Amino acid sequence: MRSEDFDHRGLGRRVLEATLDYASTAVSTLAMFALALALIALMTRSAPPAGSPVVVDGSTTPSTSSETQIR
């Protein structure tokens, strides 16, 4: 194939468009990944660890029905 047969017009624009398309896809993928990590971090921070004692009225023991009665 000779160089005269290849159309060089618009090549730079096509390369630029392909590069911007690839960069846009990469940025979008990274943004979704960061959003998923932030959501996971938020969910794990707000929930107490499994098996941890629940604090009720300053006491770490579960209250009984007699303790919850109004005195």
Can you give the pTM of this predicted structure?
0.49
Residue 65 has pLDDT above 80, yes or no: no
Token digits for 45?
Answer: 């921070």
CA–CA dist 46, 52 (Å, integer) = 13
Question: Considering its fold, how many domains does the chain have in total?
Answer: 1
**Which spans in 1-71 are helix H?**
11-46
Give the pLDDT confidence score for residue 2 in this predicted structure: 62
Sequence-distant (≥ 6) Cβ neighbours of residue 57 within 8 angstroms: 63
Residue 67, pLDDT > 70, answer: no
pLDDT at position 60, please?
A: 57
* Cα distance between the two ends of the chain: 97
Domain encompassing residue 31:
1-71
In this predicted model, what pLDDT tens digit does every residue of 2-47 receive, in sequence order? 666 667 778 888 999 999 999 999 999 999 999 999 999 988 876 6
The pair of structure tokens assigned to 34 is: 């960061």
Query: Rounded to the nearest 5°, which phi and psi values hold at 63?
Result: -80, 150
